Structure 1
Amino acid sequence: MSASRPENVHQARLLRLLRDEGPRSRAELGDVVHLSRSKLAVELDRLAELGLVETAGLAASRGGRRSSVVRLAPGLRFVAFDIGATSIDVAVTNGELEVLGHVSEDCDVRQGATVVLDRALDLLGKLRDEGLLPSVHGTGIGVPGPVSFRDGMPVVPPIMPGWDRFPVRDAISQELGCPVRVDNDVNIMALGELHAGLASGVDDFLLVKIGTGIGCGIVAGGAIHRGVSGSAGDIGHIRVDEAGPMCACGNTGCLEAYFGGAALARDATAAARDGSSPQLALLLADRAELTARDVAEAAAAGDAVAVRLVREGGRNVGQVLAGLVSFFNPGLVIVAGGVAGLGHTLLAEIRGVVYRRSPPLATGNLPIVLSELAGQAGVIGAARLISDHVFTDA
């Protein structure tokens, strides 16, 4: 069941304040939104009638009659689907975007839209069975490819066969009976960092996701920059070397062809098979193929080939990132995604290249850091995406 929406810009602003700042007294809310006491009372009373807010006791006195505390209704629920190339994460949050339940499983996005979305809905069913979903007020979805944000569907996604122009938004909206918004998985991670991560309070930053592929969420002026057709930030397909390996996009020498999860698995498996890395050969003996996690394990054990793969990858990412930093002048760069699990060896290489190649004015006060949201950036960001939509005036 879908909930009511705010009816005007004042109600929408009050809801976003309560989402971002938590419960507040009527007096504090009045200070921020600059409404008279009587006008504020009208708007809050209407939001309570709509089932979006409720009163929660009295605030400390500010020298007169004590003001009541207002909070978002505790029954508000947002659903988040973070669909990656090799996994699905599903979460339920409250109105303040606190994660109440989170389940995930391995899943190959190449199985196609119907199969993958059915799996996501099955996972949501587990959370519903736990009593976490009295109602659904909105659903945010991230997918690992270019998205037409206006139409709510992927458009010619290189690693998502069978998804091109599949009506993800409309299909899930019909299934769950609520508003739905769909975006690129990197953009929702950037929103997650903006809401609850290291980028909280930073208006201009880059979120670089290094997973199966490589992408970049661009936040400018506190909002996601998607570009005209939704493909802004597709940095995995910036060319590093014309003579480089073939990429999934059909071009040669792309960053992703050198250093995404798939490229890392390819190079690690080759090193295991040709005997140049005993440690990787040992790991390959136990499984069909190697992953970025195996490279991290081998590098941590001091395997020279694994360490070289990580460093070369970091240098290539740093080379592309240096150009972005010179162009965009961000206040922060966050590195996230499965391959970011390679940790500080990777981070040191990226930092070294960016700090050497970008102008001192751009990097003089530029932190380049690993995400601290422990795999929840995507689901928090998906919830933020749909709450931004629901908490606007209808």
Structure 2
Amino acid sequence: MPADLSPSGDLIAVLRRVREAGHTTRADLGRDLGLRRGVVTQRVSALLDLGLVDEAVTRRSSGGRAPRELAFRRDAGFVLVADLGATTLVAGVADLSGALVATRESPADVTDGPERVLEQLESTWVDLVQESGVGRERIWGAGIGVPGPVEFATGRPISPPIMPGWDSYPVRERLATAFDVPVWVDNEVNLEALGESRIGLGRGVAEMIFVKMSVGIGSGVISRSVLHRGANGAAGDIGHIAVVQDETATCRCGNTGCLEAVAGGLSLVRTATERAALERSSVLGRMVDEGQSLAVDDITSAAGSGDAVAVDLLTHSGRLVGDTLSTLVNFYNPGLLVLGGRLVQGNDVVLSTVRETVYGRSLPLATRNLVIARSELGPLGGLVGAAVMVVDELFSRTRFPLWSPQKSPHGHPEIANPR
């Protein structure tokens, strides 16, 4: 791709290349980006002045002066990150490469509403900033994933089925006011897909689908190495595809027969509780007899111990999800299909069933080079993706010029506003 000839475009292109390469030289930058040596020198000098690039490592010379290597200053700033699920809140602090320097997981009920949950998040972030030793003024931005549809431009959840009280709530504005930094909000599965694409299994894969199977079911789509959000931010919501004609299978979205309503963790827990006491279920049956309330993790753990009901439920879920994904594989033809979430992490039943179903029902050409694998990042993928999202936005062509003259986006929350 030819370089942008504007000074800011060249600057961002050079910075992006240094970030991607890890270590590089001025000569490499000129060759890779098609820029003249004088232009590269000017842009590198500007990045050194901004504190975004460091020049410390010297390569071995092949004759003449040894070239000095350039490296991205991953510790030039830090970002606050959070992944809000239906029942848990995972929060952290990450550097500009997406590496997590501090994390904390705590119970949180999304149905408690935005005031209570975001107050908990704010308190957690304050503690993590103190514990990590990162000065508050070195926080450059914040990113959060929530378990529902998000209008990305405004950072507001829109009619989220499992988030009562969150519809159109100004999440961005509240957190920006609390920490005086730009804030971005997205669907949690989108962020897991972004993290997996950039730092996990999807590195170097241009076309990828990430599927999260947990209490609910959702997916994130990577197209040409970029997260595809769709026209309004609703892309990838496969949990609400109708898969059965069953009026009793009521989904949290208000419709019936949705994939999430028959294959998601909430549905499996309900069915497991009903079946465990009636059928041969050595693990789940004993738990129900003892009066315990079952959870998603109990089903995956029981399946690992050979519990017949648990294995049957997970197999059924995997087959329904696999049928749905086979349609998407035929339609989109990804090179990688990554499965994450609590229904996948604790056992191999779902993964193996999805593989068998997708490979069996999709067209041969669509699956010729398709890899189906478990997430490499696991439960921290959402935090990594949140960090990647924030850093990508800060260094984008539209936003970088807004804060680079001040050398820091801290104190400029308006940077994240729609443009």
TM-score w.r.t. length of structure 1: 0.94
Query: After the TM superposition, which of the residue ranges 11-20 and 331-340 deviates more from structure 2?
Result: 11-20
Secondary structure of the structure 2 residue equivalent to 1:137? strand
| Match for residue 263 of structure 1 among 267, 275, 280 | 267
CA deviation after TM superposition for structure 1 residue 34, in Å: 2.4
Residues 215, 296 of structure 2: 8 Å contact kept: no
How big is the alpha-carbon RMSD for the aligned residues of Structure 1 and Structure 2?
1.8
| Match for residue 180 of structure 2 among 167, 177, 182 | 177
Distance 1:231 1:143 in 2: 13
Query: After the TM superposition, which of the residue ranges 17-26 and 162-171 deviates more from structure 2?
Result: 17-26
Name the structure, 1 or 2, with higher relative contact order (CA <8 Å, separation 6+): 1
| Match for residue 313 of structure 1 among 313, 317, 339 | 317
Q: Does 1:238 align with 2:219?
A: no
| Match for residue 291 of structure 1 among 295, 300, 305 | 295
Q: Which residue of 2 aligns with 1:158?
A: 161
Letter in 2 for 1:102: T
Q: Identity rate of aligned residues, in percent? A: 39
Q: Does 1:110 align with 2:131?
A: no
CA deviation after TM superposition for structure 1 residue 343, in Å: 2.7
Distance 1:129 1:268 in 2: 43
Residues 22, 96 of structure 1: 8 Å contact kept: no
Secondary structure of the structure 1 residue equivalent to 2:123? helix
Q: Which residue of 2 aligns with 1:88?
A: 89
Deviations 1:214-241 (A, max 9, x none): 0110111111111112111110011111
Letter in 2 for 1:377: G
Distance 1:55 1:228 in 2: 41
Query: After the TM superposition, which of the residue ranges 225-234 and 286-295 deviates more from structure 2?
Result: 286-295
Distance 2:244 2:351 in 1: 22
Q: Which residue of 2 aligns with 1:254?
A: 258
Secondary structure of the structure 1 residue equivalent to 2:243? coil
Distance 1:287 1:181 in 2: 43
CA deviation after TM superposition for structure 1 residue 121, in Å: 1.8
Residues 343, 350 of structure 2: 8 Å contact kept: no
Deviations 1:31-50 (A, max 9, x none): 22222222112112212222
Q: Which residue of 2 aligns with 1:3?
A: none
Q: Kindly tell me: are residues 121 and 286 of structure 1, through their superposed partners in 2, closer, same or farther at Cα, counting changes over 3 Å? A: farther
Distance 1:199 1:191 in 2: 9
Distance 1:78 1:55 in 2: 23
| Match for residue 375 of structure 2 among 334, 352, 371 | 371
Q: Which residue of 2 aligns with 1:18?
A: 18
Query: After the TM superposition, which of the residue ranges 373-382 and 127-136 deviates more from structure 2?
Result: 127-136
Deviations 1:174-214 (A, max 9, x none): 22122211111111111101111111100111000111110
Secondary structure of the structure 2 residue equivalent to 1:361? coil
Distance 2:245 2:101 in 1: 47
| Match for residue 348 of structure 1 among 345, 352, 356 | 352
Q: Which residue of 1 aligns with 2:404?
A: none
Residues 283, 294 of structure 1: 8 Å contact kept: no
Secondary structure of the structure 2 residue equivalent to 1:45? helix
Letter in 1 for 2:52: L
Q: Which residue of 1 aligns with 2:98?
A: 97
Letter in 2 for 1:57: V
CA deviation after TM superposition for structure 1 residue 58, in Å: 2.2
Residues 340, 378 of structure 2: 8 Å contact kept: no
Distance 1:309 1:53 in 2: 52
Residues 217, 238 of structure 2: 8 Å contact kept: yes
Letter in 2 for 1:98: A
Secondary structure of the structure 2 residue equivalent to 1:360? coil
Distance 2:193 2:44 in 1: 31
Residues 18, 96 of structure 1: 8 Å contact kept: no
TM-score w.r.t. length of structure 2: 0.88
Structure 1, unaligned stretches of length 5 or more?
A: 1-5
Letter in 1 for 2:204: G
Letter in 1 for 2:29: L
Letter in 1 for 2:90: D
Question: Which segments of structure 1 move beyond 4 Å, counting only runs of 4 or more?
Answer: 285-288
CA deviation after TM superposition for structure 1 residue 329, in Å: 0.7
Distance 1:174 1:37 in 2: 43
Q: Which residue of 1 aligns with 2:417?
A: none
Residues 310, 342 of structure 1: 8 Å contact kept: no
Residues 101, 132 of structure 1: 8 Å contact kept: no
Residues 153, 182 of structure 1: 8 Å contact kept: yes
Deviations 1:160-184 (A, max 9, x none): 1111111111221222122211111
CA deviation after TM superposition for structure 1 residue 19, in Å: 2.7
CA deviation after TM superposition for structure 1 residue 7, in Å: 7.4
Letter in 2 for 1:103: R
Deviations 1:91-137 (A, max 9, x none): 22222222212211121111111211221222212221123423111
| Match for residue 391 of structure 1 among 381, 389, 395 | 395
Letter in 1 for 2:188: D
Distance 2:96 2:254 in 1: 43
